[in-house]
């Protein structure tokens, strides 16, 4: 058990290392470096900047050193929580992100809860009542849900709510709470807004997980142990929950990390369309402005979240499935 955990941790750290390299490359990709960009910015502001000055900045920031030194410098900063300066905001990247990250976390977490609670119940229903009206209904919904890109769903929801309720569903707070300090009322207000991005972000995942759950459960329902369990006199519901559903959970749990990848993946675009005060719009803006340190840091954070999620789902799976424990130990 401990051995497996250590190995998993090793995997996660290795992935993290490669991700950091990718992020560094992304930061380096645009032509020119921070000093050039800084100079261009000042220049655009009407200032005259001499080449020596640019060189000085470059030297000061260590941008004239070899790549791997720069990488190590950057990584060292990352480890200490210093992610560089944002060109646009003229503030440390970590500060800019810290303001918005909690909302992204809340959004991702709520979406995951939404996806799995809805998908599991509907998936079980669809499998147990295969080919019933409800099953067909959810199959159709599932196809549409899978095919609708997040942003389109967001647009449609916005249009519908404007047309029928005459209110905008964008953002996460009502105007009066926009800049208010945290309070119970503000939290409630946020929750009442949160469902829109959660639904938008979670629909495709829910559709996918319903299909998975249905297929896996149908498979399990055909297994011998189901009839064997029935033959002991267990009531149908208890039998379902204890035997096939419990086993169908294993493949579902193993998709947790991957589903989180998708949620995190879709979050920026939904954030942009619904103009949420989370990291999504920040990320997109940093890309469009080539605010490289901010962009790199954002990708690093997104990837870290996903890696952490995958790690957790792996560990959960080991706990849930005695077969895996057994396999690895012998």
Partner 1 sequence: MVNTGVKVKRNKHVRRLDIATARQLMWWKFKRHRMALLGISVILFFLLLAIFAEFLSPYAPYERTAIYTSGSPMGLNFIDTDRKLHICPFVYGRVSKRDPVTLRLKPAIDTSQCWPLRFFVKGSSYKLWGIFKLNIHLFGAKGGFIHIFGTDKLGRDLFSRCLYATRTSLSVGVIGIIFTFFIGIVMGGIAGYIGGMVDNIIMRIIEFIRSIPTLPLWLSLAAALPREWSALKVYFAITLILSLVSWTNLARRVRSKLLALREEDFVISARLAGCKTARIIRRHLLPSFLSYIIVDLTISFPWMILGETSLSFLGLGLREPAVSWGVLLFSAQNILSIVHMPWLLIPGIFVIVSVIAFNFVGDGLRDAADPYSK
Partner 2 sequence: MPKDMLLEIKDLEISLLVESHMVNIIDNVSFDLKFGEVIAIVGESGCGKTVTSQAIARLLPRELKILSGKILFYSKIDERVLDVCKLDPKGKTIHYIRGDQIGMIFQEPMSSFSPVYTIGNQICEVIRLHQKVSKKKARNISIELLDTVGIPNPVAAVDQYPHEFSGGMRQRAMIARAISCNPSLLIADEPTTALDVTIQAQILVLLQELQKEFGMAIIFITHDLGVVAQISHRVFIMYMGKIVEEGSVHDIFHNPKHPYTENLIHAIPKLGNLRERRRLVPIRGNVPSIFDELHGCAFHPRCKFFMPDKCDVHFPKCKHLTSNHSVWCYLYE
320 counts as binding partner 2 under rule CB under 8 A: yes
Of residues 159-218, which lie at the interface with partner 1 (CB under 8 A)?
A: 159, 162-163, 168, 170, 218
CB of 53 to partner 1, least distance (A): 26
**Rounded-to-integer distance, Cα 298 and Cα 95, Å:** 12
The count of residues interacting with partner 1 (CB under 8 A) is: 50
Shortest Å, Cβ 57 to partner 1: 22
| DSSP per residue, 110-141 | HHHHHHHHHHHHHHHHHHHTTTSHHHHHHHHH
Question: Which one, 186 or 230, has the nearer CB to partner 1?
Answer: 230
CB of 130 to partner 2, least distance (A): 9
Taking CB under 8 A as the criterion, which residues in 2-31 touch partner 1? 15, 18-19, 22, 26, 29-31
Phi-psi map region of 132: left, alpha, beta (phi>0 left; psi -120 to 50 alpha): beta
Q: How far is the CB of 248 from partner 1 (least distance, A)?
A: 16
328 touches partner 2 by CB under 8 A: no
- Write out the two tokens for 42: 């000042």
Contact between 148 and partner 1 per CB under 8 A: yes
Residue 61 in the binding site for partner 1 (CB under 8 A): no
Q: What angle do CA 317, 221, 219 make, to 5 degrees?
A: 65
| Binding of residue 45 to partner 2 (CB under 8 A) | no
Only one of the segments 26-34, 47-55, 86-94, 246-254 lies at the binding site for partner 2 (rule: CB under 8 A); that segment is: 246-254
What residues form DSSP beta bridges with 92? Answer: 85
CB of 11 to partner 2, least distance (A): 24
- Phi and psi at residue 170, to the nearest 5°: -70, 165
Which of partner 1, partner 2, none lies near 225, with the C-beta cut-off 5 to 8 A by kind? Answer: partner 2
- Count of other CB atoms within 10 angstroms of residue 55: 13
Contacts of 36 (CB under 8 A, 6+ apart): 54
Nearest to 263 by CA among 123, 144, 116: 116
Instruction: Give least dist CB 169 to partner 1, A.
Output: 9
Q: Does position 219 bind partner 2 by CB under 8 A? A: no
Phi, psi of 85 (to 5 degrees): -100, 140
Pick the binder of partner 2 from 243, 283, 302, 311 (CB under 8 A). Answer: 243
Ramachandran region, residue 233 (left: φ > 0; alpha: ψ -120 to 50; beta: rest): left
Q: Secondary structure of the chain: what % helix, strand, coil (to 5)?
A: 80, 0, 20
Please state the length of the chain. Answer: 330
Do the beta carbons of residue 130 and residue 220 sit within 8 Å? Answer: no
Q: Point out which residues bind partner 1 (CB under 8 A).
A: 15, 18-19, 22, 26, 29-31, 143-144, 146-152, 155-156, 158-159, 162-163, 168, 170, 218, 257-258, 261-262, 264-266, 268-269, 272-273, 283-284, 287-288, 290, 295, 298-299, 302-303, 306-307, 310
Q: Point out which residues bind partner 2 (CB under 8 A).
A: 223-225, 227-236, 242-243, 246-247, 250, 320-323, 326
């Amino acid at each position: 058990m401990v051995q497996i955990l250590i190995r998993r941790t090793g995997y996660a750290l290795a992935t993290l290392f490669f991700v950091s390299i990718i992020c560094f490359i992304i930061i380096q990709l645009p032509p020119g470096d921070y000093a050039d960009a800084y100079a261009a910015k000042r220049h655009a502001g009407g200032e005259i900047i001499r080449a020596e000055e640019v060189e000085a900045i470059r030297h000061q920031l260590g941008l004239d050193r070899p790549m791997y030194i720069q990488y190590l410098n950057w990584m060292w900063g990352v480890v200490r929580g210093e992610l560089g300066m944002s060109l646009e905001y003229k503030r440390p990247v970590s500060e800019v992100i810290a303001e918005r990250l909690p909302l992204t976390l809340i959004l991702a977490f709520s979406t995951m809860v939404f996806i799995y609670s809805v998908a599991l119940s509907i998936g079980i229903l669809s499998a147990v009542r295969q080919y019933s009206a409800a099953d067909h209904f959810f199959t159709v919904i599932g196809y549409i849900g899978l095919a609708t890109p997040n942003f389109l769903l967001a647009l449609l929801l916005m249009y519908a709510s404007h047309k029928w309720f005459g209110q905008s569903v964008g953002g996460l707070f009502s105007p009066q709470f926009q800049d208010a300090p945290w309070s119970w009322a503000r939290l409630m207000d946020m929750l009442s807004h949160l469902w829109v991005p959660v639904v938008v972000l979670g629909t495709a995942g829910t559709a996918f997980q319903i299909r998975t759950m249905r297929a896996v459960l149908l498979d399990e329902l055909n297994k011998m142990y189901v009839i064997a369990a029935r033959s002991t006199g267990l009531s149908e519901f208890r039998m379902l929950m204890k035997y096939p559903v419990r086993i169908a959970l294993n493949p579902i749990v193993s998709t947790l990390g991957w589903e989180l990848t998708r949620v995190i993946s879709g979050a920026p675009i939904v954030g942009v369309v619904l103009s949420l005060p989370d990291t999504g719009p920040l990320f997109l803006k940093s890309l469009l402005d080539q605010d490289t340190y901010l962009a790199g840091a954002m990708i690093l954070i997104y990837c870290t979240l996903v890696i952490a999620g995958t790690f957790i789902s792996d560990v959960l799976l080991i706990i849930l499935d005695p077969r895996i424990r057994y396999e690895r130990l012998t």
